[in-house]
Amino acid sequence: MQRKIKIIPAKRIEGIRLRKDLPIDAPAIHETAQGMIEYLKKIKGLGLAACQIGIPERWFVAKIDNQYIICIYPAYKPIASGKTKMWRETCLSYPNEAYNVRRYQKIFATWETPDGDNITECANMFGNQDAIIFQHETDHCNGKTIKMIGQRVRK
């Protein structure tokens, strides 16, 4: 039975500390992730972290390269030049708000799948919008929000 998706108040995820060493419950993650993906499709969303729906775990689902992926224990670092750009971002945790956030344009990203595979992606797949989505959702897993690291702008 799929979990009902409900976004929790942003103040509950700001500064949250999520453990990095919890065992992965693949069936539970798959089931919850499917509900999250259906929710994102319905609202035309691009990403959702488990902590945003009250699950204190370091993983998210995101639409990357036009497909939804599940990323557990995500991490990233800039590619070579480390060029950044200001991006206008919105977030399900802050409805009706937008923020300018400085992000790396291209990143080297790593994560685990629910099946325990270690994934490493870089260059074109994680350039521009895909890189922004990955950084945004990873920030949630690290207790950061766009309100904490960006500057509010008119939506």
Task: Give the pLDDT of residue 79.
Answer: 83
CA distances from 123 to 71, 91, 151 (A): 18, 25, 28
Count CA within 13 A, CB hemisphere, residue 116.
4
Does some domain include residue 74? yes
Polymer length in residues for the chain: 155
H or E segment and range at residue 98: strand 94-104
Mean pLDDT of 64-88: 90
Joined together, the tokens standing for residue 53 give: 């729906």
pLDDT of 15: 76
> Is there a domain that residue 5 lies in?
no
Q: Looking at residue 18, which CATH number applies to its domain?
A: 3.90.45.10
Q: Please report where in the chains the tokens 């689902």 appear, as a residue.
A: 61
Q: Which tens digit of pLDDT belongs to each residue from 5-51?
A: 788 778 888 777 776 766 778 888 999 999 999 999 999 999 999 99
Q: Is residue 19 part of a domain?
A: yes
94-104 vs 84-91, strand pairing mode: antiparallel
DSSP 88: E
Which residue type sits at 22? Answer: L
Question: Per residue in 81-135, pLDDT tens?
Answer: 778 999 999 999 999 999 999 999 888 899 999 988 888 876 445 667 899 999 9
Q: Is residue 108 part of a domain?
A: yes
Identify the domain containing residue 50 by its residue range. 10-153
Tell me if 16 sits within 8 A of 55, measured CB to CB: no
Encoded tokens for 3: 């979990």
What b-and-e string marks burial along 32-44, b requiring 16 or more CB atoms within 10 Å of the CB? bbebbbebbeeee
Which neighbouring-strand residues pair with 118? 112
Total domains present in the chain: 1
Which pLDDT belongs to residue 31?
A: 93
